[in-house]
Amino acid sequence: MGKDGPMNIVMLLYPRLTQLDLTGPFEVFTRLPDVKIILAAKSLDPVTDSGGLRLLPTHTLAEAPQADILFVPGGPGQLHLMDDAVTLDFLRAQAVAARYVTSVCTGSLVLAAAGLLTGYRATCHWMSLDQLALFGCTPSSERVVVDGNRVTGGGVTSGIDFALQLAALLFDQDRAERTQLSMEYNPAPPFSSGHPNSADPAMVEAMRARASGLQQKRWEAARTAAARLGLAVSSDKNS
Protein backbone atom coordinates (compact mmCIF):
# COMPACT_ATOMS: atom_id res chain seq x y z
CA MET A 1 0.00 0.00 0.00
CA GLY A 2 0.93 3.64 -0.38
CA LYS A 3 1.88 5.71 2.61
CA ASP A 4 -1.67 6.99 3.19
CA GLY A 5 -3.86 4.32 1.61
CA PRO A 6 -4.02 2.31 -1.60
CA MET A 7 -1.01 2.12 -3.88
CA ASN A 8 -1.35 4.59 -6.77
CA ILE A 9 -0.61 3.09 -10.17
CA VAL A 10 -0.41 6.01 -12.59
CA MET A 11 -0.74 4.85 -16.21
CA LEU A 12 -0.05 7.39 -18.94
CA LEU A 13 -2.59 7.81 -21.76
CA TYR A 14 -1.75 9.57 -25.02
CA PRO A 15 -3.05 9.53 -28.61
CA ARG A 16 -2.08 6.55 -30.76
CA LEU A 17 -0.78 4.39 -27.94
CA THR A 18 -1.05 0.62 -28.40
CA GLN A 19 -3.97 -0.33 -26.20
CA LEU A 20 -2.68 -3.82 -25.31
CA ASP A 21 0.49 -2.24 -23.91
CA LEU A 22 -1.86 -0.57 -21.44
CA THR A 23 -4.77 -2.99 -21.04
CA GLY A 24 -2.66 -6.11 -20.51
CA PRO A 25 -1.00 -4.68 -17.39
CA PHE A 26 -4.29 -2.95 -16.44
CA GLU A 27 -6.04 -6.33 -16.25
CA VAL A 28 -3.35 -7.68 -13.92
CA PHE A 29 -3.35 -4.56 -11.74
CA THR A 30 -7.13 -4.62 -11.27
CA ARG A 31 -6.80 -8.03 -9.64
CA LEU A 32 -4.32 -6.84 -7.00
CA PRO A 33 -5.40 -5.69 -3.54
CA ASP A 34 -5.11 -2.14 -2.21
CA VAL A 35 -4.32 -0.43 -5.49
CA LYS A 36 -5.85 2.58 -7.20
CA ILE A 37 -5.39 2.92 -10.95
CA ILE A 38 -5.06 6.41 -12.35
CA LEU A 39 -5.31 6.84 -16.13
CA ALA A 40 -3.57 10.17 -16.65
CA ALA A 41 -3.68 12.27 -19.83
CA LYS A 42 -3.27 15.90 -20.78
CA SER A 43 -7.04 16.40 -20.63
CA LEU A 44 -10.11 14.37 -19.69
CA ASP A 45 -11.12 14.03 -23.34
CA PRO A 46 -11.26 10.46 -24.69
CA VAL A 47 -7.90 9.21 -25.98
CA THR A 48 -7.94 7.22 -29.21
CA ASP A 49 -5.42 4.42 -29.52
CA SER A 50 -3.62 3.44 -32.73
CA GLY A 51 -6.41 1.06 -33.72
CA GLY A 52 -9.32 3.39 -33.02
CA LEU A 53 -10.26 2.24 -29.49
CA ARG A 54 -11.27 5.16 -27.28
CA LEU A 55 -10.04 5.25 -23.69
CA LEU A 56 -11.25 7.55 -20.92
CA PRO A 57 -8.71 9.24 -18.63
CA THR A 58 -9.54 9.47 -14.94
CA HIS A 59 -7.19 12.39 -14.22
CA THR A 60 -5.33 15.10 -16.06
CA LEU A 61 -1.56 15.17 -15.75
CA ALA A 62 -1.88 18.26 -13.58
CA GLU A 63 -4.33 16.55 -11.21
CA ALA A 64 -2.79 13.09 -11.02
CA PRO A 65 -1.68 12.07 -7.52
CA GLN A 66 1.84 10.99 -6.76
CA ALA A 67 2.51 7.60 -8.29
CA ASP A 68 3.74 4.65 -6.32
CA ILE A 69 4.01 2.89 -9.68
CA LEU A 70 4.57 5.04 -12.77
CA PHE A 71 3.76 3.30 -16.07
CA VAL A 72 4.20 4.29 -19.71
CA PRO A 73 2.80 2.20 -22.60
CA GLY A 74 4.20 2.30 -26.11
CA GLY A 75 2.69 2.70 -29.55
CA PRO A 76 3.07 4.87 -32.66
CA GLY A 77 2.15 7.96 -30.64
CA GLN A 78 5.36 7.51 -28.65
CA LEU A 79 7.15 9.27 -31.48
CA HIS A 80 5.48 12.58 -30.66
CA LEU A 81 6.08 12.27 -26.91
CA MET A 82 9.84 12.24 -27.36
CA ASP A 83 9.89 16.06 -27.45
CA ASP A 84 6.64 16.73 -25.56
CA ALA A 85 7.90 18.90 -22.71
CA VAL A 86 4.67 18.72 -20.69
CA THR A 87 4.60 14.93 -20.69
CA LEU A 88 8.34 14.52 -20.11
CA ASP A 89 8.27 16.99 -17.21
CA PHE A 90 5.30 15.10 -15.73
CA LEU A 91 7.22 11.82 -15.88
CA ARG A 92 10.35 13.36 -14.34
CA ALA A 93 8.36 14.89 -11.48
CA GLN A 94 6.45 11.67 -10.80
CA ALA A 95 9.55 9.48 -10.98
CA VAL A 96 11.28 11.30 -8.12
CA ALA A 97 9.09 9.69 -5.44
CA ALA A 98 7.75 6.67 -7.35
CA ARG A 99 8.54 3.27 -5.93
CA TYR A 100 8.83 1.80 -9.43
CA VAL A 101 9.23 3.50 -12.83
CA THR A 102 7.97 1.18 -15.54
CA SER A 103 7.04 0.74 -19.18
CA VAL A 104 6.03 -1.70 -21.89
CA CYS A 105 7.14 -1.71 -25.52
CA THR A 106 8.32 1.69 -26.85
CA GLY A 107 7.14 3.32 -23.64
CA SER A 108 10.73 2.77 -22.50
CA LEU A 109 11.88 5.24 -25.16
CA VAL A 110 9.62 7.87 -23.60
CA LEU A 111 11.12 7.18 -20.18
CA ALA A 112 14.57 7.37 -21.79
CA ALA A 113 13.74 10.71 -23.41
CA ALA A 114 12.85 12.01 -19.95
CA GLY A 115 16.31 10.92 -18.76
CA LEU A 116 14.85 8.20 -16.55
CA LEU A 117 16.66 5.16 -17.95
CA THR A 118 20.21 6.50 -18.25
CA GLY A 119 22.54 4.03 -16.55
CA TYR A 120 19.90 1.28 -16.39
CA ARG A 121 19.30 -1.95 -18.26
CA ALA A 122 15.98 -1.93 -20.10
CA THR A 123 14.03 -3.52 -22.90
CA CYS A 124 11.70 -2.36 -25.67
CA HIS A 125 9.94 -3.69 -28.77
CA TRP A 126 12.51 -5.66 -30.77
CA MET A 127 12.45 -3.25 -33.70
CA SER A 128 13.35 -0.28 -31.48
CA LEU A 129 15.50 -1.96 -28.84
CA ASP A 130 18.83 -0.59 -30.08
CA GLN A 131 17.59 3.00 -29.77
CA LEU A 132 17.84 2.74 -25.99
CA ALA A 133 21.64 2.80 -26.26
CA LEU A 134 21.46 6.43 -27.41
CA PHE A 135 20.31 7.33 -23.88
CA GLY A 136 23.14 5.72 -21.94
CA CYS A 137 20.93 2.71 -21.32
CA THR A 138 21.94 -0.93 -21.77
CA PRO A 139 19.44 -2.61 -24.11
CA SER A 140 18.38 -6.14 -23.17
CA SER A 141 16.37 -8.56 -25.28
CA GLU A 142 14.83 -10.16 -22.19
CA ARG A 143 11.03 -10.13 -22.15
CA VAL A 144 10.99 -8.33 -18.80
CA VAL A 145 13.96 -6.46 -17.32
CA VAL A 146 14.23 -5.45 -13.67
CA ASP A 147 17.07 -3.10 -12.77
CA GLY A 148 16.69 -1.44 -9.39
CA ASN A 149 13.32 0.27 -9.41
CA ARG A 150 13.10 0.31 -13.21
CA VAL A 151 10.94 -2.45 -14.68
CA THR A 152 10.47 -2.61 -18.44
CA GLY A 153 8.64 -5.03 -20.70
CA GLY A 154 9.27 -5.86 -24.34
CA GLY A 155 6.75 -5.55 -27.13
CA VAL A 156 2.96 -5.42 -26.66
CA THR A 157 2.04 -8.89 -25.32
CA SER A 158 4.90 -8.84 -22.82
CA GLY A 159 2.79 -6.41 -20.79
CA ILE A 160 1.06 -9.26 -18.98
CA ASP A 161 4.39 -10.91 -18.11
CA PHE A 162 5.70 -7.52 -17.01
CA ALA A 163 2.73 -6.87 -14.73
CA LEU A 164 2.83 -10.32 -13.15
CA GLN A 165 6.53 -9.92 -12.39
CA LEU A 166 5.85 -6.49 -10.92
CA ALA A 167 3.04 -8.00 -8.82
CA ALA A 168 5.54 -10.45 -7.36
CA LEU A 169 7.87 -7.56 -6.50
CA LEU A 170 5.07 -5.55 -4.90
CA PHE A 171 3.52 -8.44 -2.97
CA ASP A 172 4.98 -11.93 -3.38
CA GLN A 173 5.16 -14.77 -5.87
CA ASP A 174 2.08 -16.45 -4.42
CA ARG A 175 -0.04 -13.36 -5.11
CA ALA A 176 1.34 -13.11 -8.63
CA GLU A 177 0.72 -16.78 -9.34
CA ARG A 178 -2.85 -16.60 -8.05
CA THR A 179 -3.42 -13.59 -10.28
CA GLN A 180 -2.04 -15.49 -13.25
CA LEU A 181 -4.33 -18.43 -12.50
CA SER A 182 -7.37 -16.18 -12.11
CA MET A 183 -6.72 -14.84 -15.61
CA GLU A 184 -6.04 -18.32 -17.04
CA TYR A 185 -2.87 -16.87 -18.44
CA ASN A 186 -1.43 -20.01 -20.00
CA PRO A 187 0.03 -18.95 -23.35
CA ALA A 188 0.09 -21.55 -26.10
CA PRO A 189 0.63 -19.57 -29.32
CA PRO A 190 -0.36 -21.40 -32.49
CA PHE A 191 2.86 -20.38 -34.25
CA SER A 192 6.49 -19.81 -33.26
CA SER A 193 6.81 -16.48 -35.08
CA GLY A 194 6.34 -14.21 -32.07
CA HIS A 195 9.97 -13.12 -31.76
CA PRO A 196 12.72 -12.49 -34.34
CA ASN A 197 14.81 -15.23 -32.74
CA SER A 198 12.19 -17.85 -33.63
CA ALA A 199 10.46 -16.39 -36.70
CA ASP A 200 11.47 -17.09 -40.28
CA PRO A 201 14.37 -14.70 -41.05
CA ALA A 202 12.71 -13.69 -44.32
CA MET A 203 9.58 -12.72 -42.38
CA VAL A 204 11.66 -10.67 -39.94
CA GLU A 205 13.34 -8.77 -42.76
CA ALA A 206 10.00 -8.17 -44.47
CA MET A 207 8.61 -6.75 -41.24
CA ARG A 208 11.63 -4.49 -40.84
CA ALA A 209 11.26 -3.26 -44.40
CA ARG A 210 7.56 -2.54 -43.97
CA ALA A 211 8.19 -0.57 -40.78
CA SER A 212 11.30 1.23 -42.05
CA GLY A 213 9.60 4.60 -42.46
CA LEU A 214 8.33 4.72 -38.89
CA GLN A 215 11.58 3.33 -37.55
CA GLN A 216 13.59 6.00 -39.34
CA LYS A 217 11.44 8.63 -37.63
CA ARG A 218 11.92 6.91 -34.29
CA TRP A 219 15.69 6.94 -34.69
CA GLU A 220 15.62 10.63 -35.57
CA ALA A 221 13.39 11.43 -32.58
CA ALA A 222 15.60 9.36 -30.28
CA ARG A 223 18.77 11.11 -31.45
CA THR A 224 17.19 14.52 -30.96
CA ALA A 225 15.95 13.60 -27.47
CA ALA A 226 19.31 12.15 -26.49
CA ALA A 227 21.11 15.27 -27.69
CA ARG A 228 18.70 17.41 -25.69
CA LEU A 229 19.74 15.49 -22.58
CA GLY A 230 23.39 16.14 -23.42
CA LEU A 231 24.09 12.47 -24.14
CA ALA A 232 26.60 11.39 -26.76
CA VAL A 233 25.01 10.14 -29.95
CA SER A 234 27.35 7.53 -31.35
CA SER A 235 25.12 4.94 -33.04
CA ASP A 236 25.09 5.04 -36.80
CA LYS A 237 22.03 2.83 -37.24
CA ASN A 238 19.47 4.10 -39.69
CA SER A 239 21.58 7.19 -40.28
Round to whole Å and give the CA distance between 170 and 13: 23
Asked, for residue 69, whether it belongs to a domain, the answer is yes
Task: Write down the pLDDT at residue 23.
Answer: 98
Number of domain units in the chain: 1
Output the domain CATH number for residue 51. Answer: 3.40.50.880
Asked, for residue 238, whether it belongs to a domain, the answer is no
Q: Which domain holds residue 219?
A: 7-184+193-228
Name the DSSP letter for residue 153: E
Tell me which of 35, 105, 111, 156 is the catalytic residue. 105
Asked, for residue 237, whether it belongs to a domain, the answer is no
Partners of residue 69 on adjacent β-strands:
9, 100
Alpha-helical regions (H) of the chain: 19-30, 78-81, 85-97, 107-113, 158-170, 173-182, 201-210, 212-228
Asked, for residue 233, whether it belongs to a domain, the answer is no
pTM: 0.94
Asked, for residue 39, whether it belongs to a domain, the answer is yes
Q: Over the chain (239 residues), what is each successive 10-residue block's mean pLDDT?
A: 80 98 98 97 98 98 98 97 97 98 98 98 98 97 98 97 98 98 96 95 96 95 95 54
Asked, for residue 102, whether it belongs to a domain, the answer is yes
Asked, for residue 135, whether it belongs to a domain, the answer is yes
Task: Write down the pLDDT at residue 3.
Answer: 60
Is there a catalytic annotation at residue 105?
A: yes
